[in-house]
Amino acid sequence: MKFSLSWLKDHLDTTASVDEIAAKLNAIGLEVEGVENPADKLKGFRVARVLTAERHPNADKLQVLTVDAGDGQPLQVVCGAPNARAGLVGVLGLPGAVVPANGMVLKVAAVRSVESNGMMCSTRELELGEDHDGIIELPEDAPIGQAFADYHGADPVFDVAITPNRPDCMGVYGIARDLAAAGLGTLKPIVAPQIAGTFASPVDIRTEDTEGCPAFYGRTILGVTNGASPDWLQARLKSAGQRPISALVDITNYVMLTYGRPAHAYDRAKLTGAVVARRAKDGEGVTALNGKHYLLDHTMTVIADEAGVHDIAGIMGGEHSGCSDDTRDVLLEIAYFDPVRIAQTGRTLNLTSDARGRFERGIDPQFLDTGLDLLTGLVLEICGGQASEVIRAGTPPSGTRQVHYEPTLAETLGGVAIPSAQQRTILESLGFSVVAVDSQDGEQWSVTAPGWRPDVDGAPDIVEEVIRIHGLDKVESVALPRADGVARPTATPAQKLERRLRRAAAARGNHEAVTWSFLPEADAAVFADSAVWTLANPISEDMKAMRPSLLPGLLAAVRRNLDRGASGLRLFEIGRRYLRAENGASDERLSLAVVLAGEKTARGWATGKPATFDAYDAKAEALALLAEAGAPVDNLQVMGEAGSQFHPGQSATLRLGPKTVLARFGMLHPAVLKQFDIDAPVAVAELFLDAIPGKKGAASFARVHYAPPALQAVTRDFAFLVPADLPAGDLVRMVKGADKANIVAARLFDDFRGQGVPEGSKSLAIEVTLQPGEKSYAEADLKAIADKVTAAAAKLGAVLRG
């Protein structure tokens, strides 16, 4: 919400400075995001008089001026404005000044071989208007040499962030009311002209949707002259960031920004028959003022006549019935619309506007007559014409709400003891009415919230109003009570797991990424095994689907980094993925994903070409992080393909049995990389942390101290001939489980296929580590263990090589 200081002072009688007003706004909960002083943009510009004007010797459309800038030494300036002439008083930009319209820094320069010491400026160049046909012409008595900012007048502009629960401050008057209540001046009353009307309105209005539009008021004004609005009105709108359009449109915008009361003006000549607030029909359409066409349905309220829809009620008017410079008769419409209906319609159409922002938060339903009188008075004053009588269709809700309140709550809930009389004064200055209630339990009040405060729902809301106006800085900082001794740990097992995995992944050289939980639907569909969750009210179309995997967000991050010159990337993320449960409910799962893209090692004299990541790198990340998560990695089986998103033959899953999938890893399919616009090989690993089984029999968290064995370990190598399609991991796991009392580790160190190995077979060599207990192994002991190993391997069709 933007507004100028002079606009605020139209409604608040105050002598406070800009800094004092900004500080008080922050103190009462209306955060000031910035204060802009237009005078800062006009530094270096002066009121100056043209002494002489002669034709440029080298250009027909340029003149060489001598200009008095008040320093006693005339300056030579080259100017192309057609109205430049001797005796004209205008605005001179001196060397060093910055032109507000384009940011150009003025300097002494030669223009067609003639030196120019600045620039005579137009209103558009100083962002004071749209006129660019000539330079500014000031009155003859304007003080030569005075800074133009001082002559023109500086009107600082406040930019205030209004929270959704404060619709009353969506207008300048509401902000003035809060400042007056906080002691920063006196609120000026609203003075609306009493216009009875001299004839019956030739346009009938009514409401047929009393749920969506309980009240619909209007009046006709004949014989108006539309055109540019006066300078004061344009200045108000510009300070709010609005572009002046025409007097009739500017008036409705001014009333909305001043009092938070949206309204609309229709060109009567474009209306046919009665104007009605009704439900839209399925399939009806309207082209709005933004030039876009919208298809409507029966859940939406519209303003229509016999010819069709003219207005998406409470959100945006139609292009067809808008006012133009040729408009001579207008219908002023002011109505109360249901906030929920407005919000639903806006979300369905993905259409936002200033009117919607106010209606869906809630406006004062009792401001209809006053708002219409204010509109009428401004139209008659600026555009002329004759006003009809007011037509009222429907009845607005009261908008008021009574709340039972005890003054002692300010201390018990707010932490500040405030005298009852002071609380009453604060509430009444904000527009609340306070009536004492007879009670045997201490002082109690019945407080009635005004119609412009729909956010006030109970006693705690009253406490908030009292405390913020009294001063939030007066609430004493009190520490929460704490039991003696060492605080108990509060982290949950899931939180501890996340922290541990985050450290482990980073320690392995990966960089953590935090990506959005929302994705474009197309990206989400690539990694979804079922229908994805979509949002009814997304931030944008590119953030409409809930992610079914962490990989799409990480791949988008990979693309951005590769596009910016990164040669290799190691990214990981821990977060939730969102799936559809069998009953249709949302199902959140904790996951960890690692993405390895591009170059693994740079090119060098020893390696030659740069090495890229492969599926084995992804598998190593998956196994290491699963081990850190407490998964029984020694029991995992490498099974099957990881999914259609992965490269066939270069991907797999890690499972505990055929059904429990703990992770998947491998190279992404080229088609997936193409969809994400990535032209480098990408290996990924995705861990499903929710599938890791919990540890059994853990009685306590007592630390178990490590004690090295007394005897040295023994290693033995075994070479087996096995079928070529047998996974090496299956053989290693079988060998390790052959004698759990003695075998502590087993690892594959050779995979050979060639001369001496039968066709359809391969030779796998495994190193087995044996750990003796109380005594060293005898030959008989080693032979017995070897026999167990060969017997276990034989179950998989493995034969010990000779």
User: What domains are there in the chain, each with its CATH number?
Assistant: 2-37+156-187 (3.30.56.10), 40-152 (2.40.50.140), 205-394 (3.50.40.10), 401-473 (3.30.56.10), 493-691 (3.30.930.10), 714-800 (3.30.70.380)
Residues ≥6 apart with Cβ < 8 Å to 320: 270, 287, 310
Token pair for 531? 């229908």
Query: What is this structure's pTM?
Result: 0.67
Q: What is the pLDDT of residue 531?
A: 80
464 is in an annotated binding site: yes
Determine contact, residues 368/334, Cβ cutoff 8 Å: yes
- DSSP three-state, residue 210: coil
Residue 30 to residue 159: CA distance in whole angstroms: 10
Closest CA to 263 of 332, 337, 363, 211: 332
Determine contact, residues 74/66, Cβ cutoff 8 Å: yes
Q: What is the pLDDT of residue 584?
A: 64
428 is in an annotated binding site: no
| The pairing of beta strand 63-68 with beta strand 75-79 | antiparallel
Cα 355 versus chain centre, distance: 20
Element containing residue 144 per DSSP (H, E): none
| Lookup result for tokens 């269709």 | 393
Token pair for 747? 């690892």
Closest CA to 788 of 746, 726, 725, 729: 746
Cα 496 versus chain centre, distance: 30
Q: Can you name the residues that pair with 428 across neighbouring β-strands? A: none
Three-class SS of 509-575: CCEECCCCCEECHHHHHHCCCCCCCECCCCCCHHHCEECCCCHHHHHHHHHHHHHCCCCEEEEEEEE
Residue 784 to residue 789: CA distance in whole angstroms: 9
**DSSP-assigned states of every residue in 665-694:** EEEEPHHHHHHTT--S-EEEEEEEGGGSPP
Largest CA distance in the chain: 122
> CA dihedral defined by 387, 393, 395, 399, rounded to 10 degrees?
-60
Q: What is the pLDDT of residue 583?
A: 67
231 is in an annotated binding site: no
Residues ≥6 apart with Cβ < 8 Å to 373: 192, 193, 194, 195
- DSSP three-state, residue 229: coil
Determine contact, residues 24/185, Cβ cutoff 8 Å: no
Phi/psi of residue 616, each to 5°? -70, -35
Token pair for 358? 């106010």
Residue 743 to residue 793: CA distance in whole angstroms: 14
Determine contact, residues 766/782, Cβ cutoff 8 Å: no
| Tally of helices (H runs) and strands (E runs) in the chain | 19, 41
Q: At what angle do helices 231-239 and 247-259 cross, to 10 degrees?
A: 50
Residue 122 to residue 152: CA distance in whole angstroms: 14
Helix runs in 582-676, H state only: 615-628, 670-675
pLDDT per position as a tens digit, 599-630: 998 888 877 888 899 999 999 999 999 999 98
> CA dihedral defined by 171, 176, 181, 182, rounded to 10 degrees?
110
Determine contact, residues 176/302, Cβ cutoff 8 Å: no
Determine contact, residues 337/363, Cβ cutoff 8 Å: no
* Rounded to 5°, angle at Cα 246 from 242 and 248: 105
Residue 171 to residue 191: CA distance in whole angstroms: 16
Residue 358 to residue 174: CA distance in whole angstroms: 13
Residue 349 to residue 579: CA distance in whole angstroms: 27
641: number of Cβ within 10 Å: 15
442: number of Cβ within 10 Å: 8
Q: What is the pLDDT of residue 26?
A: 93
Closest CA to 509 of 567, 568, 549: 568
pLDDT per position as a tens digit, 121-133: 998 898 887 777 8
Q: What is the pLDDT of residue 231?
A: 87
Residue 311 to residue 162: CA distance in whole angstroms: 27
Q: What is the pLDDT of residue 472?
A: 87
Q: What is the pLDDT of residue 695?
A: 64
Token pair for 241? 């960031």
Closest CA to 675 of 538, 535, 521: 521
Show the low-confidence residues of the chain (pLDDT under 50): 697-703
Q: What is the pLDDT of residue 702?
A: 41
Token pair for 51? 């002494």
| The pairing of beta strand 275-279 with beta strand 205-207 | parallel
Three-class SS of 331-399: EEEEEECCHHHHHHHHHHHCCCCHHHHHHCCCCCHHHHHHHHHHHHHHHHHHHCCEECCCEEEECCCCC
